[in-house]
A = this chain, B = another copy of it.
């Protein structure tokens, strides 16, 4: 058995196959984008991905990162979410899905299990036939620490 540089839920080989199966190619840059996403574990920004890649591949261009993220998202391998700023966060599609709570006062990020958000999704589906993706945008509010300070 061949040694693997990457030990992850989805082996690099099958990702390569999925990419090639659609007529797309597995380039060095595309692999590096995928590796950067795996190493980050949680959500990252395109800029973070670019600068991480730049360490071993300095000529990487931001536009290449963006184009790859878009291509990989089309293949269903990558998804993105929105926080409170203007920056898109990216992660592997098979990564552990969860909701995000963002404190508008201190910027703290909390993660909550999807099971907590699911009842609302079920209600929206039942009442409006709307299939909500509650992990797509962070929930904005005030965290417990900031709330207790401001209520004094």
A: which residues have CB within 8 A of B? Answer: 82, 86, 101, 103-104, 110, 112, 116-117, 119-120, 123-124, 127-134, 136-144, 147-148
A143 touches B123 (CB 8 A): no
Q: What are the residues of chain B within 8 A of A129 when measuring CB–CB?
A: 143-144, 147-148
B142 touches A131 (CB 8 A): yes
Point out the residue from B101, B124, B141 that lies within 8 Å of A141, measured CB to CB. B124
For the complex formed, measure the closest distance between the CB of A1 and the CB atoms of chain B, giving whole angstroms.
40
For the complex formed, measure the closest distance between the CB of A17 and the CB atoms of chain B, giving whole angstroms.
25
Q: What are the residues of chain B within 8 A of A82 when measuring CB–CB?
A: 82, 137
A140 touches B147 (CB 8 A): no
For the complex formed, measure the closest distance between the CB of A43 and the CB atoms of chain B, giving whole angstroms.
16
A142 touches B116 (CB 8 A): no
For the complex formed, measure the closest distance between the CB of A129 and the CB atoms of chain B, giving whole angstroms.
3
B140 touches A137 (CB 8 A): yes
B130 touches A141 (CB 8 A): yes
For the complex formed, measure the closest distance between the CB of A107 and the CB atoms of chain B, giving whole angstroms.
13
Given contacts A137-B140, A141-B124, whether A101 and B130 have CB atoms under 8 Å apart is yes
The answer for the CA separation of A132 and B99 in the assembled complex, in Å, is 13
For the complex formed, measure the closest distance between the CB of A146 and the CB atoms of chain B, giving whole angstroms.
9
The answer for the CA separation of A128 and B143 in the assembled complex, in Å, is 8
Q: What are the residues of chain B within 8 A of A124 when measuring CB–CB?
A: 101, 112, 116, 139, 141
